[in-house]
Amino acid sequence: MQSISGRKPGDVTLLEILLLFARVGLTSFGGGLSAWIYCEVVTQRGWLEEDEFLGALTLGQILPGSNVINLSIYVGYRMKGAIGSTVAVAALLVPPMVVIVLLATVFHQFAQLAWLHEFLEGVAAAAIGMTASVGFRTARSLLTAQRWPLAMIVVVFVAVGVLRWPLVPVAIVTGAAGLYVAWRSRQGAR
């Protein structure tokens, strides 16, 4: 399978994977990593098609563990197999971990500065915007094919966001309902 950039996944080098995920890990603050990885892997480099990326993101969200780690494992594996997964995850985690340890040793001296707290709030707001953009892209992709996912999105939003029901039971019920609706849709298409 060839990507939109004209390169086959096996043609991507381990160094390219390392540099990309290290940069993402070092320059992403407060979340929004999925959006950043989307921009790099789909839009900029064309390593994956949008549908494949969104499928990988969905898979990463339903599997145990961090979504972005699962996504990194997928992208690395897709590009260079098991070693690609290892390089992607290590590059995503190790450089920022080193920076955080260094900053933590210095941060207590600057914790009283008001501008620092305002800066960090701005970074968090940007991360929320990036996360929302990936959610919007995912929803738009789903809604162009079928309309029932919109109902699921609204149900989950109301149940968890408004009524404050626990996420796990809501996810289990809506996931089962989604499987049933998809199964019924396929049965009707035959």
Q: Which residue has the higher pLDDT, 137 or 76?
A: 76
- Beta strand segments in 25-175, E: none
24-46 burial, b for 16+ CB within 10 Å, e for fewer? bbeebebbbbbbbbbebbbeebe
Q: What is the pLDDT of residue 1?
A: 46
Q: What is the pLDDT of residue 125?
A: 84
- Asked whether 45 and 141 are in contact (CB, 8 A), the reply is no
Q: What is the pLDDT of residue 117?
A: 77
Give this prediction's pTM.
Answer: 0.62
Of 20-34, 56-70, 166-180, which range is least confident? 20-34
Q: What is the pLDDT of residue 31?
A: 64
Q: Angle at CA 21, nearest 5°, toward 135 and 140?
A: 15
Q: What is the mean pLDDT of residues 167-188?
A: 85
pLDDT band at 181 (very low <50, low <70, confident <90, very high): confident
How far is residue 1 from each of residues 5, 48, 94, 139, measured CA to CA in Å?
Answer: 12, 10, 31, 26
Whether the pLDDT of residue 137 is over 60: the answer is: yes
